[in-house]
Amino acid sequence: MQQSLSQLPQREVPVFSGDVLAYRSFIRAFESVIEKKTNSDQDKLFYLEQYTSGEPRDLVRSCEHMRPDKGLKEAKRLLQYHYGNELKIATAYLDKALKWPQIKAEDAKGLKTYALFLIGCKNTMTDVEFMEEMDNPSNMRTVISKLPYKVRERWRNTAFDLQARQGRRARFEDLVGFIDWYAQVVNDPLFGDIQDVNPDAKAKPVAKSAKKNIKGANFATGVTPIVKEDAKSVKEIQKTAKSTGTLERTCLYCEKAHALNSCEKIKEKEHPERIQFLKNK
SS3 sequence of 93-159: HHHHHHCCCCCCCCCHHHHHHHHHHHHHHHHHHCCCCCHHHHHCHHHHHHHHHCCCHHHHHHHHHHH
Q: CB count, 10 Å around CB of 108?
A: 17
Question: How many domains would you assign to the chain?
Answer: 3
Provide the percentage of residues in the chain whose pLDDT is more than 70. 76
Q: Is 66 found in the same domain as 98?
A: no
> Would residue 198 count as lying in a domain?
no
Q: Is 134 found in the same domain as 60?
A: no
DSSP state of 64: T
Structure confidence by residue, pLDDT tens digits, 40-91: 999 999 999 999 999 999 999 999 999 999 999 999 999 999 999 999 999 9
The CA-atom distances, in angstroms, between 105 and each of 177, 183, 214, 245 are: 19, 12, 43, 61
For the chain, the average pLDDT equals 82
Q: Is 102 found in the same domain as 64?
A: no
Distance CA 147, CA 149 (A): 6
Annotate 12-46 with DSSP letters as a single string.
--PPB-S-HHHHHHHHHHHHHHTGGG---HHHHHH
Q: Is 165 found in the same domain as 150?
A: yes
Q: Is 12 found in the same domain as 78?
A: yes
Predicted pLDDT of residue 108:
94
Distance CA 61, CA 216 (A): 88
Q: CB count, 10 Å around CB of 272?
A: 11
Residue 111 pLDDT grade (very low, low, confident, very high; cuts 50, 70, 90): very high
Q: Is 79 found in the same domain as 96?
A: no
DSSP state of 250: S
79 lies in which domain range?
Answer: 2-84
Residue length of the chain = 281
Mean pLDDT computed over 173-187: 95
> Would residue 59 count as lying in a domain?
yes
Q: Is 213 found in the same domain as 178?
A: no
Q: Is 91 helix (H, G, I), strand (E, B) or coil?
A: helix
Residue 247 pLDDT grade (very low, low, confident, very high; cuts 50, 70, 90): very low
For 166-169, the CB contacts below 8 A with 24+ separation are 169/137
Residue 222 pLDDT grade (very low, low, confident, very high; cuts 50, 70, 90): very low
Of 25, 58, 84, the position where a domain reaches its end is 84
> Would residue 232 count as lying in a domain?
yes
Query: Among 102-116, 227-241, 251-265, whose mean pLDDT is lowest?
Result: 227-241
Structure confidence by residue, pLDDT tens digits, 189-215: 877 676 655 655 454 555 555 455 544
